[in-house]
Amino acid sequence: MVPVQWYLLLAAAVFCIGLFGILTRQNALLFLMSVELMLNAANINLVAFSAYWGNVTGQTFSLFTMALAAAEVAVGIGIILVLYRNFDDVDVTTAAEMRW
């Protein structure tokens, strides 16, 4: 079977692409999409090890993280709505009131 390092590398790459998105994106919705990417990278990791050790724990766990991701997006979209109402813009760099 495929050596597990490739799966891990893939997961790491997806994670870092998601991280890149978080660090550079200005639009709040795209920010949320990058967060989703990072969550999915973790899921890839879990499933890879489930296949490696022959244990379904990893796959079951990844189902739960998916459910959690959905819940988190629901609340996140609500927050972006409120952000838009208050700042008239979904740009995360304009909402910088809590500063020194």
Partner 1 sequence: MTTKPELRTGSHLLPGLAAVALFVVIATVILRASFGDPQGFAADAPITASIGYAMFDLEMGAVPGESFLVAFEIIDAVLVAALVAAVLLARREQDGEVVALLTDGGREVRDRLRESEDTEEGER
Partner 2 sequence: MAGAFDYAPAIVLLPFLSFLVSLAGGKYLPKGGAFGGIAATAGSLVLSAWVFLTVSAGNVYNETLYTWVAGGEATTLAFGLLLDPLAAMMLLIVCLVSLLVHVFSLGYMNDEGETGLPRYYAGLGLFTASMLGFVVADNLLMAFMFFELVGLCSYLLIGFWFREEGPPSAAKKAFLVTRFGDYFFLVGVVAIFATFGTAQFAGEGSFPVLAEEALNAGTTYFGFAPQTWFTIVGLLILGGVIGKSAQFPLHTWLPDAMEGPTPVSALIHAATMVAAGVYLVARMYGFYALSPTALGIIALVGGFTALVAATMGVVKREIKQVLAYSTISQYGYMMLGLGAGGYVAATFHLLTHAFFKALLFLGAGAVIIAMHHDEDMWNMGGLKNKMPVTYYTFLSGSLALAGIVPFAGFWSKDEVLYEALVHGLGGSPLLLAGYAMGLVAVFFTGFYTFRMVFLTFHGEPRSDVARDPHGVRWNVKGPLVVLGVLAATVGFVNMVPVQELTGIHLEYLHDWLAHGEISALTSEHYGELLHDYAHYTSADVASYVAGAMSLALALAGAGAAHVLYNVSDPDEHTEKLGAVKTLWYNNYYQDEYQVWLAESVVLPISRVADKFDQGVVDGVVNGVSSVSLFAGSRIRRVQTGVVTNYAVLLTLGLTALLVVFGLVGGWFA
The contact pattern for partner 1, residues 2-41, with x = CB under 8 A and - = no contact, is: --xx--xx--xx-xxx-xx--xx-x---------------
d(CA 83, CA 91): 9
d(CA 1, CA 95): 49
Which of partner 2, partner 1, none binds 100 (CB below 5-8 Å, type-dependent)?
A: partner 2
Give the nearer residue to partner 1 in terms of CB position, either 13 or 29: 13
d(CA 97, CA 79): 16
Give me 84's structure tokens.
Answer: 């838009």
Q: Which of residues 19-38 bind partner 2 (CB under 8 A)?
A: 19, 22-26
